[in-house]
Chain A
Amino acid sequence: MTVRIGVVTFPGSLDDGDAARAVGIAGAEAVRLWHGDADLYGVDAVILPGGFSYGDALRCGAIARFAPVMETVADAARGGLPVLGVCNGFQILCEAHLLPGALTRNQHLHFRNRDQFLRIASTSTAWTNQFTTGQEILVPVKNGEGCFVADERTLDELEGEGRIVARYTRGNPNGSQRDIAAITNEAGNVVGIMPHPEHAVEALTGPSLDGLGFFTSVLRTLAGSSAGGQLAGGH
């Protein structure tokens, strides 16, 4: 059976099209979800794409958190549904308290748009099991508010529990604490990443095909969970 992955569109989303395309290239069916519709239509995983939901009013992701679809996504995420938040999607996951910390203004105040090397730090999440620990990947980064901050205790916790999923390497584009580019929740089913794997899935437009691994990983996760009844995270 084809895996169905939901891609949410908020007013102001930009990368929903690319995210849906990446899902298709990975071999799954993309199901377009609408912010005002709380129904997830039985999808197996959800992607919150990049962009400027609600014009970034108040704080990035602050309004999107209260969208009808997000209440359902939050409940499903707590129940183990794989959820990937990219860029604005990461900001929304933090605002919704599905991930700790916050994304703040880049320390140098400039919007940063470039191809960025990351080092995969955890492969035991629903979205990174097809990588190897320590693997370097190249994906685009494009944000004005991608500086991850959290208190020292939270940062230590993330580090100690292996919940830092990827770090910036060969230069930190936004001042993010401990070079954090991506983190996960305790169960490993929810991942937030600031750079854009969905823009690195085709040779024609991307700097690499490295981004594809996130989408093939969740297929692997879902195949494992339907075959063996395993939880999304921790395997």
Chain B
Amino acid sequence: MSRVVVDVMLKPEILDPQGQAVANALPRLGVTDVSSVRIGRRIEIEFAGDANLDTAREIADKLLANPVIEDFEIRADDAVEEDA
């Protein structure tokens, strides 16, 4: 089994109201030196056999991210193979 991790983030020019809400709450934690928070999504894809980065990229491009508003990055997660 092998794992591919996909990180999906809103494009920099797209407003992230959730991130802003979190940033606005930080002073209540006593944190005052944070200028911005942006929230994305991490998706873990587990392949039955070897990790197929091309397939993972296709999944990310067609389904996991909406290219109109989001960018994504993919990487093989080697930690899983070590565990196994």
Contacts and interface: CB of A to CB of B under 8 A. Distances in A.
Interface of A: 58-59, 62, 66, 94-95, 100-102, 104-109, 149-151, 175
B37 interface: no
Q: Size range of the interface on B?
A: 10 to 19
A66 B17 CA distance: 28
Contact of B66 (A62, A106, A107): A62
Interface string B13-41: 11101100100000000000000000000
B53 interface: no
26 contacts: A58-B63, A59-B66, A62-B63, A62-B66, A66-B63, A94-B68, A95-B66, A101-B68, A102-B69, A104-B15, A104-B69, A105-B17, A105-B18, A106-B17, A107-B17, A108-B17, A109-B17, A109-B18, A109-B21, A149-B14, A149-B68, A149-B69, A150-B68, A151-B13, A175-B15, A175-B17
A230 B76 CA distance: 53
A22 B29 CA distance: 51
B80 to A, nearest CB: 22
Top 10 A-B pairs ranked by shortest CB distance?
A102-B68, A102-B69, A107-B17, A109-B17, A105-B17, A102-B66, A109-B21, A59-B66, A149-B69, A149-B14
A61 to B, nearest CB: 9
A contact face: mostly helix, strand, loop, or mixed = loop
Contacts of A107: 15, 17
A105 B16 CA distance: 8
Contacts, number: 33
Nearest to A65: B63
B64 interface: yes
A58 B15 CA distance: 18
Contacts of B17: 105-109, 175
Contacts of A149: 14-15, 68-69
A94 B69 CA distance: 11
B42 to A, nearest CB: 13
A16 to B, nearest CB: 24
A198 B82 CA distance: 56
